């Protein structure tokens, strides 16, 4: 959460480059934004509550002759969104500015110390303000010295960007458990929270490690550890094309990313198959002996990634014959779970930076588990701290509501399950080959699932005024129901609720009344009749039912008011297809309600605080 961009260079104007970068990081937070620019020996700071468009409005007409600066887009933690609480924060004499992503845990005691010992007057409610005051108290002409001294006093997880008009050619960044990269340009260099911010300008980057300072000037990038040793870092080449982080003609990133799912599914599968269709897991060293040693698997994640785990459990248990528990990371890390060296811990994360997932992973590692992560962002913290990494090939996901990351995470689960099964010998070659054949057919079937879009647009127009929607399903369909419900609530603000269909009668059915909308997933052949009975139960209470079934299973038409069909496929694989109409439905309902689809209120894409 929160996005940072820093620029030092002779190419272009720092203000324009930084604001453009912030817009590409707006998915990280959009409560307020601001810039600090060094202009002819002066430090100019402008900040404004609300979207970056508000900041642009504020500075329109002003020209800043600037080659060095920092910018920030905020997701509020300490202190409400307001102009005063917006970043950058400045030193009392206005010479130093700081932007910050994360939380300073000991800011209360630092604030008291700064007030008592240095007579500082605080101007905001945010924890960040202590950082700039500490740097200013320690500044004696060299910004690196002052930042190192300030950092030594801070506790928490954070990354920062700093500029100083009395050391005017450089931008300093520091990373501790919150993401930061440095971009290597020609006549210019960058720091940023994430690659899309600078992809337009550079394709070569350095991944900054925890507890490292990065100092950029227009000609140079230096990285230091906490002992001030200069660190060597290999260059990381970004392989995405710049367009993949653009809207490409779609009205919203979410719609574009929904439509990118056939490609993401294809890439995630085919990158892992050799010419004989055998799974090759480069970067993963899980042998038959390792797999036979595991007596338990935890899949731990947050949000949509957790929902991918709920579906993954079915296939991994079935193919690998190892019990799987799926848990949200924020619970796992504090409940003292039973983990030892016979445990495989699978972390699932699009960003690879989610604080709860990262801390749960560390906890599992401390207890001796082997850690396999399923991650989209290459080089992210989760990936770096795992023993084995399975990268999804979704490409950059910008919309806050996750779509293509989810389906590629699901695809990864099937590949991992198949690999485990065939390596352990718990599935045979014929089953493996049949399953791979079916998986290879999925990208084309996903295209067919996208063809439901026009009819879903019509449904959305009928349904968008409802304030409550229920999602029900059984087996893997229950997992997909949770994801469908999350999509709807996060972007449309409709109160949606998902529940395993068989559990409905144990309480939740009390909420079903005339015209309550129920989305009923009935894609599992062996549970089909059971689902039809559950649909009957809600129909009997007056519900308006939208059924979702496989083509050919049309008995549902007798009970549901509307039916959406997905292409025929084996039961285990329906989640890859059934979620697509649910994403589209959520999208068009949110659109009908006039919601800001790519930037839903109160949310952020990458949650790097607890």
Out of 179, 262, 303, 337, name the contact with ligand G6P by CB under 6 A.
303
**Distance of closest approach, residue 445 Cβ to ligand G6P, in angstroms:** 24
CB-nearer residue toward ligand G6P: 350 or 578: 350
Which of residues 337 and 600 has its CB atom nearest to ligand G6P in the complex? Answer: 600
Q: Which stretch binds ligand G6P (CB under 6 A): 264-272, 287-295, 497-505, 602-610?
A: 602-610
* Of residues 557-596, those binding ligand G6P (CB under 6 A): none
Query: Does 386 help bind ligand G6P (rule: CB under 6 A)?
Result: no
Task: Indicate if 39 belongs to the active site.
Answer: no
Residue 27 beta carbon to ligand G6P: minimum distance, rounded to whole angstroms: 9
Q: Is 319 in the site for ligand G6P (CB under 6 A)?
A: no
Number of other residues whose CB lies within 10 A of the CB of residue 458: 11
Annotated catalytic residue: which of 15, 165, 591, 605? 605
Strand 89-90 and strand 42-49: pairing?
unpaired
Is-contact 411 268, C-beta < 8 A?
yes
Joined tokens for residue 116 = 């008592």
Binding to ligand G6P, residues 69-98 (CB under 6 A):
none
Where does 163-300 have alpha helices with state H? Answer: 253-259, 261-270, 288-293
Output the residue with the shortest Cβ distance to ligand G6P: 303
Q: Quote the CA–CA distance of 363 and 357 in Å, as a whole number.
A: 10
Residue 66 vs 409, nearer CB to ligand G6P: 409
Q: How far is the CB of 403 from ligand G6P (least distance, A)?
A: 9
- Among the residue ranges 188-196, 233-241, 301-309, 424-432, the one whose residues contact ligand G6P (CB under 6 A): 301-309
**Computed over its alpha carbons, how large is the radius of gyration of the chain?**
25
Nearer to ligand G6P, 175 or 307 (CB): 307
Stretch of 72-80, 209-217, 439-447, 598-606 lying at the interface with ligand G6P (CB under 6 A): 598-606
Rounded to a whole number of angstroms, the minimum distance from the CB of residue 356 to ligand G6P is 8
Q: Pick between residue 350 and residue 485 the one whose CB is nearest to ligand G6P.
A: 350
Residue from 99, 254, 305, 416 in contact with ligand G6P (CB under 6 A): 305
Report the 10 Å Cβ neighbour count for 82. Answer: 16
x/- contact string, 219-258, with ligand G6P (CB under 6 A)? ----------------------------------------
CB of 373 to ligand G6P, least distance (A): 10
Q: Does 500 bind ligand G6P (CB under 6 A)?
A: no
381 binds ligand G6P (CB under 6 A): no
Question: Which SS3 state, helix, strand or coil, does residue 511 take?
Answer: helix
Q: CB-wise, 328 or 448, nearer to ligand G6P?
A: 328
Cβ neighbours of 392 (radius 10 Å): 28
Q: What is the nearest approach in angstroms of ligand G6P to the Cβ of residue 256?
A: 16
CB of 409 to ligand G6P, least distance (A): 8
The 3-state DSSP class for residue 454 equals helix
DSSP state of 120: P
Smaller CB distance to ligand G6P: residue 361 or 469? 361
Which of 90/380 has CB closer to ligand G6P? 380
- Backbone φ and ψ of 337, nearest 5°: -70, 155
Tell me: does residue 304 bind ligand G6P (CB under 6 A). yes
Stretch that binds ligand G6P, among 177-185, 296-304, 386-394, 556-564 (CB under 6 A): 296-304
Angle at 183 between CA 178 and CA 189, to 5 degrees: 120
Task: Decide if residue 608 touches ligand G6P (CB under 6 A).
Answer: no
| CB 382, min distance to ligand G6P, A | 7
400 counts as binding ligand G6P under rule CB under 6 A: yes
- The two beta strands, 388-391 and 495-500, are unpaired
- Please give the residues from 337 up to 366 whose contact with ligand G6P meets the rule CB under 6 A: 349-351, 354, 357
Among 77, 101, 402, 423, binds ligand G6P (CB under 6 A): 402
What tokens does 508 get? 């939740």
2 is annotated as an active-site residue: yes
- Cβ distance 208 to 173 under 8 Å? yes
Q: How far apart are CA 269 and CA 155, in angstroms?
A: 42
Determine which residue in the list 72, 263, 313, 605 makes contact with ligand G6P, applying CB under 6 A.
Answer: 605
* Catalytic residue (choose from 2, 164, 302, 595): 2
Instruction: Please state, in angstroms and rounded to a whole number, the distance separating the CA atoms of residues 596 and 419.
Output: 41
Give the pairing of strands 388-391 and 296-301. Answer: unpaired
Q: What is the rounded CA–CA span in Å between residue 305 and residue 406?
A: 6
Q: How far apart are CA 207 and CA 436, in angstroms?
A: 35
CA 424 centroid distance within chain: 32
* # residues contacting ligand G6P (CB under 6 A): 15
Q: Least Å distance between CB 574 and ligand G6P?
A: 21
**Among residues 43, 162, 302, 420, which is the contact residue for ligand G6P, using CB under 6 A?**
302
Q: Is 603 in the site for ligand G6P (CB under 6 A)?
A: yes
Residue 189 host element (H or E): strand 188-192
Q: Which residue has the tokens 């129909």?
A: 539
Closest CB to ligand G6P among 128 and 304? 304
Helices assigned H by DSSP within 396-527: 404-424, 429-450, 453-463, 476-492
Taking a C-beta distance cutoff of 8 angstroms, is the pair 101, 159 a contact?
yes
Burial code (b: 16+ CB inside 10 Å, e: under 16) for 530-560 equals ebbebbebbbeeebbbbbbbbeebeebeebb
First to last CA, the chain: 11
Distances (CA, A) of 61 to 34, 55, 56, 58, 70: 16, 12, 10, 9, 20
Q: In this chain, which of 2, 488, 607, 609 binds ligand G6P, going by CB under 6 A? A: 607
Length of the chain in terms of residues written: 610
- How far apart CA 414 and CA 461 sit, in angstroms, is 35
193 is a site residue for ligand G6P (CB under 6 A): no
Q: Is the dihedral of CA 93, 96, 99, 100 positive or negative?
A: negative
The residues carrying an active-site annotation are 2, 605
Positions that interact with ligand G6P (CB under 6 A) = 302-305, 349-351, 354, 357, 400, 402, 603, 605-607
């Amino acid at each position: 959460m929160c996005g940072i961009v820093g620029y030092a260079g002779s190419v272009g104007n720092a203000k324009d480059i930084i604001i453009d970068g912030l817009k590409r990081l707006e998915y990280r937070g959009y409560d307020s934004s601001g810039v600090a620019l060094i202009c002819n020996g002066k430090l100019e700071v402008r900040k404004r509550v609300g979207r970056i468009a508000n900041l642009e409005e504020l500075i329109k007409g002003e020209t800043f002759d600037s080659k060095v600066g920092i910018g920030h887009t905020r997701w509020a933690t300490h202190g409400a969104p307001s102009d005063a609480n917006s970043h950058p924060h400045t030193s009392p004499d206005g010479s130093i500015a700081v932007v910050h992503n994360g939380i300073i845990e000991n800011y209360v005691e630092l604030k008291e110390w700064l007030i008592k010992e240095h007579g500082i007057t605080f101007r905001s409610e945010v924890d960040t303000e202590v950082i700039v005051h500490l740097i200013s108290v320690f500044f004696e002409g060299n910004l690196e010295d002052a930042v190192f001294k300030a950092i030594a006093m801070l506790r928490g997880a954070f990354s920062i960007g700093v500029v100083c008009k009395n050391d005017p050619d450089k931008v300093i960044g520091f990373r501790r458990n919150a993401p930061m990269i440095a971009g290597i340009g020609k006549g210019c260099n960058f720091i940023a929270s994430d690659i899309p911010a600078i992809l337009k300008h550079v394709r070569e980057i350095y991944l900054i490690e925890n507890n490292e300072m990065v100092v950029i000037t227009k000609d140079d990038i230096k990285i230091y550890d906490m002992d001030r040793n200069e660190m060597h870092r290999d260059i990381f080449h970004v392989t995405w094309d710049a367009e993949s982080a653009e809207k490409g003609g779609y009205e919203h990133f979410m719609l574009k990313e929904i439509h990118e799912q056939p490609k993401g599914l294809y890439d995630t599968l085919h990158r892992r198959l050799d010419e004989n269709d055998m799974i090759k897991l480069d970067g993963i060293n899980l042998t038959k002996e390792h797999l036979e040693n595991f007596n338990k698997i935890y899949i731990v994640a947050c949000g949509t990634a957790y929902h991918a785990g709920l579906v993954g459990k079915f296939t991994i248990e079935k193919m690998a014959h190892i019990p799987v528990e799926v848990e949200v990371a924020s619970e796992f890390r504090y409940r003292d779970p039973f983990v030892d060296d016979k445990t495989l811990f699978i972390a699932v994360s699009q960003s690879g930076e989610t604080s709860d997932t990262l801390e749960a992973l560390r906890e599992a590692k401390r207890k001796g588990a082997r850690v396999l992560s399923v991650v989209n962002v290459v080089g992210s913290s989760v990936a770096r701290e795992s023993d084995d990494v399975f990268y999804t090939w979704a490409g950059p996901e910008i919309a806050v509501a996750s779509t293509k990351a989810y389906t590629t995470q699901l695809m990864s689960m099937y590949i991992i399950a198949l690999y485990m099964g065939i390596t352990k010998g718990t599935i045979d070659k014929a089953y493996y080959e049949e399953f791979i054949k079916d998986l290879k057919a999925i990208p084309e079937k996903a295209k067919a699932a996208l063809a439901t879009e026009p009819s879903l647009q019509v449904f959305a127009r009928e349904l968008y005024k409802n304030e409550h929607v229920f999602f029900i399903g059984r087996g893997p369909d229950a997992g997909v129901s949770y994801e469908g419900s999350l999509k709807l609530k996060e972007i449309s603000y409709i109160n949606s609720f998902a529940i395993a269909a068989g559990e409905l009668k144990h309480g939740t059915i009390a909420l079903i009344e005339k015209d309550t909308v129920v989305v009923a997933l009935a894609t599992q052949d062996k549970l089909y009749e059971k689902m039809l009975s559950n649909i009957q139960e809600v129909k009997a209470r007056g519900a308006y039912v939208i059924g979702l079934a496989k083509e050919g299973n049309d008995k549902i038409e007798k009970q549901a008011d509307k039916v959406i069909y997905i292409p025929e496929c084996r039961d285990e694989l329906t989640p890859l297809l059934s979620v697509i109409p649910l994403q589209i439905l959520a999208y068009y309902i949110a659109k009908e309600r006039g919601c800001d689809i790519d930037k839903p209120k109160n949310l952020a894409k990458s949650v790097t605080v607890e």
